Amino acid sequence: MARSSEFLPLDDLALRAVIGPGSRHVALIEDAFKVLIEAPGGGVAINGSARDRAQARRVIEDLAERAGGGGDLDEADVRAAVAAAIGGGEARSRTGVALPVGRRGPIAPKTPAQARYLEALAACELTFGVGPAGTGKTFLAAAWGASLLRRGEVDRLVITRPAVEAGERLGFLPGDLNEKVDPYLAPIWEALNDILGPDDVRRRRDRGEIEAAPIAFMRGRTLSHAFIIADEAQNLTRLQMKMVLTRLGEGARMVVTGDPSQVDLLNARDSGLAHALTLLRDVKGVGIMTFEARDVVRHALVERIVRAYDSDAAQARGGAQP
């Protein structure tokens, strides 16, 4: 197949985003499409076959559009754009929704699945985000809640998560309630610190605008004008799931996140997440977004790890059949 070159003009901001730190972004694009990309000034020259150049150009244009929108680009964005180009999906449709809460610029979905997830969060009072680790379901839930809080659409952000390792009995742990619970909520605190900044998070916690509570402390409460994040929900029992879902009060919204393949309960069949997904799938006001291995944005190796475990689980199910 004949190989030739084409030049794609870019402004300085887009050019820096496409090249990436240490030329890492360019290297990922070159490796994906077997092209050579050079930056002679004012843009990039793409060398390769017509088909490979077209795919590489699509990724570069997508990254340039993201950079122009003020988004903070990383390798996950490049991998997501590459996957969309290879799969023939609409890469640039991801940029339609952006949350203006990030400390380093607006937070935009990195994949079509993340875009649909944000759409579900906007449209539904109760949203389930389920799938493997590294797909951004908890981070985007925290970003959405932070955006609602900043805009005054909710009065507080309530975060809850089962402390399965402590058997939901936290009294023996040292410190006050926050000190007991915080280790179990570390992923959400890390996300909120990244989104709002540690100082803003601390101030809002002191004012009661951001609250953390273990599942056991949710019983009997009615949460009004709040955004509730129920994380690691695969470790909720069926009774706990019903209890949490019925905490919704006036003006409240909730997102439930979890990975059904990582149940830590003694009896995995007692997990309330899979049960709730089946029971509530057709209920008005409920949205369900299911992520897959291809939606992993954490690290390229994480996607391959998830696929290997999924394949092993599928073979085990096949072998169990009579």
Q: What's the CATH number for 112-300? A: 3.40.50.300
What secondary structure letter does DSSP report for 297?
Answer: -
Q: pTM of the prediction?
A: 0.71
Order of strands, sheet of 3-9, starting from the edge strand that comes earlier in the sequence: 3-9, 43-49, 36-38
Where exactly does CATH 3.40.50.300 map onto the chain? 112-300
CA distance 126 to 248: 9
Where exactly does CATH 3.30.1370.10 map onto the chain? 3-96
From first to last of its 322 residues, what are the pLDDT tens digits of the chain?
556 888 999 988 888 888 988 888 999 899 888 899 998 888 899 999 988 999 999 999 988 887 876 666 788 788 878 877 876 554 444 444 667 666 666 777 888 888 899 999 999 999 999 999 888 899 999 999 998 998 899 999 999 988 754 444 444 445 555 566 667 777 788 888 888 889 999 999 999 999 988 888 888 889 999 999 999 999 999 999 999 999 999 999 999 999 998 888 888 888 999 999 999 999 999 999 999 887 887 766 777 787 788 787 777 766 655 4
DSSP H or E stretch at residue 273: helix 272-280
Instruction: Pull the structure tokens for residue 91.
Output: 């890469």
Contact 226, 155 (CB under 8 A): yes
What secondary structure letter does DSSP report for 237?
Answer: B
CATH class of 3-96: alpha beta
